[in-house]
């Protein structure tokens, strides 16, 4: 729990807004929401410069014929360094649920791994990713692998997933007035309570794998089937997966996007063991989705979940007044006004010419082509990633990465529809801030030159250990198109 700490400035601002000091639960929830992992407070303004959509779990492009493709590349670096198998597996599980929360059925996936060598860490991460893909019946397109001593103290594990959604059943990650919240999936286990804060900070000698959530792909497969049936046969007002920050972050984010408030009854959350209210609110147990539905559809939703062998419980409602309330045994434990977002963190970028990036041995992933009989077209996917020049020439490197992904699809004869980006950087010192700003400038210029939108993406910062040993800057770009 020691990671749930607001900065002095953030605590003062929240206290002034509440006109009282936040209690322990409110403090922990605010610290989680304000974490870099959840808020993108260091990078949000830069991401906006190239049109990155930060409003939900990902983006959807129109493939024609009433069919859309939802896709995203996502990082899971800190957990995968501490527990390679579980981290890589749940990294794929999380991005699958991001796609599912848009109404799409996961279709295909691939991994991007950066490790020091081909030893146990790499093998376990690859095994975890592959096993999760297999048990969730998702076509595995392979893995781009890179090796360098620069990844000895932190690794990069990125998971990509693409899914298909009939555009008439596209789902948004927001709550609406008059809605009821239903939680589907595994019972809460109390793990990963500080996961969002941990993933936002540098690792140290005390970081441990004991609090890294594990995945259950069989439950994930049931969750996918149940949600898709609910979307198409019953309908929802909104949906979001439970990742870092658990139920608290998912509910607050959905409410903020919808411009409403929310009330959660924490004692109605199914738990695998006795948990404290903070653990119930913030734990990162995997394979869970939060749905916002019309109350008259509650019984149908619960019956559909039961048919698929899933836990499903109604545990709250939206409110017109934009306030988040958490209750336990009818006692109010949290009362926070919405929106609850932190101010941007100012960066102080400055290039350090003395730094060098170690060479990376790279095994590339060839572009993929998947036939879609529904629209008589091929879905085309290409991946490109950074070279060692990203450390000193991040703007040009990021442009080159985008153009390489773009050109791969062009060479196939495909029309490029959109990009998804994953930015993975080390310590946010002056040079790290400079790399981030220059990398985003390169993406902005590419967007202006090619006119291809970035509909989804991810930023992972502070991939370093004890103030040193930063990873080499790693940008992954996925281009998606049709032919």
Label each residue of 217-247 as H, E or C: HHHHHHHHHHHHHHHHHCCCCEEEECCCCHH
Structure token digits, residue 176: 């609406």
Quick one: average pLDDT of 438-456? Answer: 97
Domain ranges of the chain: 26-41+171-337, 56-169+346-356+372-482
pLDDT tens-digit map of 453-477: 999 999 999 998 876 689 999 999 9
Position 1 scores a pLDDT of 40
Quick one: average pLDDT of 137-163? Answer: 97
Q: Which residue would you say has higher pLDDT here, 186 or 198?
A: 186
Checking 451-454 for CB contacts under 8 A at 24+ apart, the result is: 452/406, 452/416, 452/417, 452/418, 452/419, 452/479, 453/51, 453/59, 453/418, 453/419, 454/50, 454/51, 454/52, 454/53, 454/418, 454/419, 454/420, 454/421
Tell me the pLDDT band of 200, cut-offs 50, 70 and 90.
very low
Quick one: average pLDDT of 104-129? Answer: 98
Quick one: average pLDDT of 172-187? Answer: 97
Q: In this model, does residue 192 exceed pLDDT 90?
A: no
Position 211 scores a pLDDT of 75
Position 208 scores a pLDDT of 55
Quick one: average pLDDT of 308-330? Answer: 98
Determine which of 48-62, 194-208, 327-341, 444-458 has the lowest per-residue pLDDT on average.
194-208
Q: In this model, does residue 479 exceed pLDDT 60?
A: yes
Position 195 scores a pLDDT of 52
pLDDT tens-digit map of 80-101: 999 999 999 999 999 999 999 9
Quick one: average pLDDT of 395-412? Answer: 98
Q: In this model, does residue 199 exceed pLDDT 60?
A: no
pLDDT tens-digit map of 249-274: 999 999 999 999 999 999 999 999 99
Q: Determine what percent of the chain is predicted with pLDDT higher than 70.
A: 95
Tell me the pLDDT band of 3, cut-offs 50, 70 and 90.
low
Residue 214: closest CA among 45, 339, 82, 51: 82
Catalytic residues: 37, 76
Quick one: average pLDDT of 278-306? Answer: 98
Q: In this model, does residue 390 exceed pLDDT 90?
A: yes
Q: Determine what percent of the chain is predicted with pLDDT higher than 90.
A: 87
Q: Write out the CATH class of domain 26-41+171-337.
A: alpha beta
Q: For the domain covering 56-169+346-356+372-482, report its CATH number.
A: 3.30.1330.10
Q: In this model, does residue 174 exceed pLDDT 70?
A: yes
């Amino acid at each position: 729990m020691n990671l749930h700490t607001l900065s002095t400035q953030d605590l003062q601002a929240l206290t002034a807004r509440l006109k009282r000091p936040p209690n322990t639960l409110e403090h922990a929830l605010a610290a989680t929401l304000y974490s870099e992992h959840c808020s993108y407070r260091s990078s949000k303004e830069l991401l906006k410069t190239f049109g990155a959509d930060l409003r939900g779990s990902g983006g959807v492009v129109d493939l024609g014929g009433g069919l859309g493709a939802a896709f995203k590349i996502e990082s899971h670096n800190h957990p995968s360094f501490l527990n390679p198998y579980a981290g890589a597996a749940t990294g794929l599980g999380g991005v699958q649920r991001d796609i599912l929360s848009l109404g799409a059925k996961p279709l295909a996936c691939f991994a991007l791994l950066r490790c020091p060598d081909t030893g146990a860490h790499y093998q376990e991460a690859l095994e975890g990713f592959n096993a999760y893909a297999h048990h969730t019946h998702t076509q595995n397109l392979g893995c781009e692998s890179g090796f360098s001593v620069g990844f000895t103290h932190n690794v990069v594990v990125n998971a990509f997933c693409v899914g298909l959604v009939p555009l008439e059943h596209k789902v948004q990650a927001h709550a609406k007035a008059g809605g009821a919240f239903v939680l589907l999936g595994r019972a809460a286990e109390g793990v990963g309570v500080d996961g969002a804060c941990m993933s936002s900070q540098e690792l140290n000698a005390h970081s441990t794998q004991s609090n890294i959530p594990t995945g259950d792909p069989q439950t994930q497969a049931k969750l996918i089937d149940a949600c898709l049936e609910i979307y198409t046969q019953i309908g929802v007002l909104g949906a979001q997966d439970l990742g870092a920050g658990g139920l608290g972050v998912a509910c607050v984010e959905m409410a903020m996007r919808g411009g409403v408030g929310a009330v959660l009854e924490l004692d109605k959350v199914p738990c695998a063991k006795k948990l404290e209210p903070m653990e119930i609110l913030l734990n990162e147990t995997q394979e869970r989705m939060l749905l916002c539905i019309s109350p008259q559809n509650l019984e149908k939703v619960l019956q559909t979940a039961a048919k698929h062998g899933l836990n499903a419980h109604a545990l709250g409602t939206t409110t017109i007044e934009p306030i988040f309330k958490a209750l336990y045994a009818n006692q109010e434990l949290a009362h926070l006004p919405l929106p609850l977002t932190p101010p941007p963190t100012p960066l102080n970028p400055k290039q350090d010419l003395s730094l060098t990036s170690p060479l990376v041995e790279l095994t590339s992933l060839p572009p993929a082509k998947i036939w879609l009989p529904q629209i008589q077209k091929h879905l085309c996917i290409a991946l490109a990633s950074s070279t060692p020049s990203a450390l000193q020439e991040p703007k040009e490197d990021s442009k080159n990465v985008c153009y390489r992904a773009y050109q791969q699809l062009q060479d196939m004869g495909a029309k490029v529809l959109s990009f998804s980006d994953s930015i993975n950087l080390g310590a946010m010192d002056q040079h790290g801030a400079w790399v981030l700003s220059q990398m985003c400038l390169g993406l902005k210029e590419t967007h202006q030159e090619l006119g291809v939108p970035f509909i989804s993406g991810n930023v992972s910062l502070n991939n370093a250990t004890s103030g040193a040993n930063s990873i080499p800057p790693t940008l992954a770009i996925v281009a998606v198109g049709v032919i």
